Structure 1
Amino acid sequence: MEVKGTLKSLLSDIRIKYNTFSKAQKRLADYILCEPEKVTLLSITELAGKGDTSETTVMRLLKKLEYDSYQVFRINLAKELTEKPGETLNEELSEEDGLATIKKKVIKHNVTAINDLEQTLSEDTIAEFLEFLAASKRVLFFGVGASASISQDALHKFGNIGINVCSHPDPHQMNIICAHSTPDDLFIAVSHTGESQEVLNAVSIARKNGSKIISLTSYANSSLAKMSDLYLLSSTNDKKYHSEAMASRIVQLTIIDILYIATFMQNEDVYFEEMNKSRIAVALNKT
């Protein structure tokens, strides 16, 4: 039986698809992520027992990971642990952890989440974003709550190089702006769950006006992703002690950075000149 190559990380794939798993599958995924070395030594029956579930559930999980064989899954997992021993373990925080351990685990979790972007954010997706951006006359970055700060960061970066951008954290203002959107507008919606009603309402209005929709979300099966022309995944299985979207927020900021740099490098001379204009303008406020 042919063993899959290591074009993508098996453990990254689990983290990326975590939000699509059933409760029983998540128990299995949690065990695999926390104890990958032990899993390589377990039979399918033993792994099912660790997740308090059945062999059928194990195979359903493997199907979502694109594996037809538990044996091949174990071989690839063992290979990954050998090739990347320092990149696999992503431990949960516990009540007994001291400050040094807390610091180490939080840093590790965030670094792992960012590294997963190698798999979740393809070059084709970035290229498609650039095509949407080039075809638009105005870009609307919207998000509420914690996602509002991501939108404001994008506003600052893209506005800094002269792109016509708009952002507002107030849901009423979002709807008003979207009510006057056009097919020349590009709407970029940020929502960790993809179920924020305020964002969905704004997207719905913009869609009716023919605006293109790009979403930045952690859930590929969310309402927001389904309403989008293109979605960029920031998925990561945040841990028990993390506030919601904690690592996802770091990933989303990194995605914005990647999109900004990719945009800048497409027309470096023009954007560098525009950035200098912004620097001179900001310098007026400095002594």
Structure 2
Amino acid sequence: MSEVNLFFKKILVKRKELSTLESQVLEYMLKYPNKVSELKIDEFANAIYVSTATVSRTCKKLGFKGYQQLKYALDQYKGSTEEQDHEEKQIGEIGGHISRFQKEMERTMTELNTANIKKAVELLNTSQMVEFFGVGASSPFCSDAARKLTFSGKIASARSDWDELRVVASHLKSSDLAILISHSGETLHLIEYATILKQRQVPFILLTGTRGSHLESLADLTLIAYSESHYYGEIDMTSRFTVNLLMDLIIIEYIKQRIH
């Protein structure tokens, strides 16, 4: 049996066993095999904001010994013409993107537990100050939410420097509140910050796009902002607008309680 047939056989048998995060790893591999074949495992993990353990686990679940063996099989599968055609087709399917955005919003709202919004507001009310933690594409959402909370009367900050975030995490108190934003829930820097926060007994809320992540296992409260990973070439076009939806709901409820 050829490597390419072996590759597809293993995927067809094992694909249904993958978690949401592992499915995103596989999706990226299949969409951009030319790019993946040139990446080391840590570079691949950083490209889609997951841990190297998640990448390795995905490879093994698909029936390969590890990342290197999967890359070899993937190298037999890849074809620059097919990848280019796929990307050109994706960028032209405007209706498909609209449908994806609608599905993300509907799923986020449908599966939202309003009790979790109320619990988030309670954590805000009892905290002295709020610090947002997010890196990469999540950083602007942290700044936006911190700005809104500041105008609502709550002391809130969001910083973009990774080292500064580490220092802040090391100085927060149990009377403060941290809010972490991570699409994958496996962002290495945020896992480091979350570990520090847990050691200092600082409560934190996680806003993430996937269930069952490492960060979720550490968080005091998790809110799921569903979004599908989407790339165009090397550009991460994953939508994170559902994070804004959830944060706005929390802040609106917080302001409403302060007024009344």
Q: TM-score, normalised by structure 2?
A: 0.63
- Among 105, 119, 122, the alignment partner of 2:110 is 119
Residue 96 of structure 2 corresponds to which residue in structure 1? 105
CA gap of 1:166–1:108, structure 2 versus 1, over 3 A, is same
DSSP 3-state at the match of 1:211? coil
DSSP 3-state at the match of 1:232? strand
Matched, 1:246 2:238: yes
Matched, 1:160 2:160: no
Residue 80 of structure 1 corresponds to which residue in structure 2? none
Matched, 1:259 2:250: yes
**TM-superposition CA deviations, 1:55-75 (whole Å, max 9, x none):** xxxxxxxxxxxxxxxxxxxxx
Amino acid at match of 1:19: T
Matched, 1:221 2:212: yes
CA gap of 1:105–1:129, structure 2 versus 1, over 3 A, is same
Amino acid at match of 1:195: E
Work out the CA distance in 2 between the residues paired with 1:261 and 1:177: 26
**TM-superposition CA deviations, 1:260-282 (whole Å, max 9, x none):** 1111111226xxxxxxxxxxxxx
Amino acid at match of 2:119: E
CA gap of 1:239–1:179, structure 2 versus 1, over 3 A, is closer
Unaligned runs of 5+ in 1: 1-16, 27-92, 270-287
Matched, 1:179 2:179: no
Q: Which has more radius of gyration?
A: 1
Work out the CA distance in 2 between the residues paired with 1:195 and 1:201: 10
Q: CA deviation at 1:210?
A: 1.2
Unaligned runs of 5+ in 2: 1-17, 28-85
CA gap of 1:236–1:175, structure 2 versus 1, over 3 A, is same
DSSP 3-state at the match of 1:189? strand
Residue 95 of structure 1 corresponds to which residue in structure 2? 88
Amino acid at match of 1:157: K
Work out the CA distance in 1 between the residues paired with 2:22 and 2:91: 32
DSSP 3-state at the match of 1:95? helix
CA gap of 1:134–1:98, structure 2 versus 1, over 3 A, is closer
Q: Identity of paired residues, percent? A: 24
Q: CA deviation at 1:240?
A: 6.2
- Equivalent positions of 1:1-287 (< 5 A) are 19=20, 95-96=88-89, 101-102=93-94, 104-239=95-230, 241=232, 244=236, 246-247=238-239, 249-268=240-259
Q: CA deviation at 1:21?
A: 7.3
CA gap of 1:172–1:94, structure 2 versus 1, over 3 A, is closer
Q: CA deviation at 1:121?
A: 1.8
Cα RMSD after superposing both structures: 2.7
Q: CA deviation at 1:115?
A: 1.5
Q: TM-score, normalised by structure 1?
A: 0.57
Alpha-carbon contact 1:19-1:237 (below 8 Å) kept: no
Work out the CA distance in 2 between the residues paired with 1:158 and 1:185: 14
